[in-house]
Amino acid sequence: MACESRTYEEISDNTPITGIVKYETDIKPIIETNCIGCHSPGGPASAYPLTNYNLVKAEIDNIVDRIQRPVGAVGRMPPGTSLSQSQINFFIKWKADGSIEN
Ligand code: HEC
């Protein structure tokens, strides 16, 4: 193996996701860290709660759209910042894999 200097971000972003992406193990932790503070009762996006499997599954097309908008674009999620490419890839693959729960 070549001794190249690569950052953790580069490695994690380029590594293909192996296996089926699941809500409980893969998607829920990303949402709890990056989205739930706003997308839950009392938050500024309480009209669009992302607090359980059925709600997230119903929004997956909107989510995949919003998280891929350019940073700074209207409606970019999370507002003003970005998930990592690897986190974005998890949402895309979760949709492609059929959005299963666990
Ligand atoms: C700082 C607060 C905040 C965070 C964090 C945040 N959002 Fe949002 N989100 C909003 C607000 C406010 C709206 C409503 C305004 C709009 O549509 O842009 C919204 C709207 C949305 C919508 C559109 C809902 C619909 O049906 O029209 C989606 C999808 C969405 N957010 C997904 C996410 C995801 C996924 C994350 C985490 C990766 C996230 N958001 C993080 C505040 C936030």
pLDDT of residue 15: 75
Q: Give residue 9 CA to ligand 1 midpoint distance, Å.
A: 24
Whether the predicted model's global pTM rises above the 0.75 cut: yes
The backbone torsions φ and ψ at residue 48, rounded to the nearest 5 degrees and listed phi first, read: -125, 70
Position in ligand 1 atom list of the atom nearest CA 80: 1
How far, in Å, CA of 15 to CA of 85, rounded?
11
How far, in Å, CA of 19 to CA of 22, rounded?
9
The reply to whether ligand 1 has any atom less than 6 angstroms from the CB of 67 is yes
What are the domain boundaries of the chain? Answer: 19-96
pLDDT of residue 36: 98
How far, in Å, CA of 102 to CA of 94, rounded?
11
Q: Whose CA is nearest to atom 17 of ligand 1?
A: 75
Query: How confident is the prediction for the chain on average, in pLDDT?
Result: 90
* pLDDT tens digits for range 3-61: 555 455 555 566 789 899 999 999 999 999 999 999 999 999 999 999 999 999 999 99
The reply to whether ligand 1 has any atom less than 6 angstroms from the CB of 76 is no
pLDDT-based confidence at residue 2 (cuts at 50, 70, 90):
very low
Contact 21, 90 (CB under 8 A): yes
How far, in Å, CA of 90 to CA of 64, rounded?
10
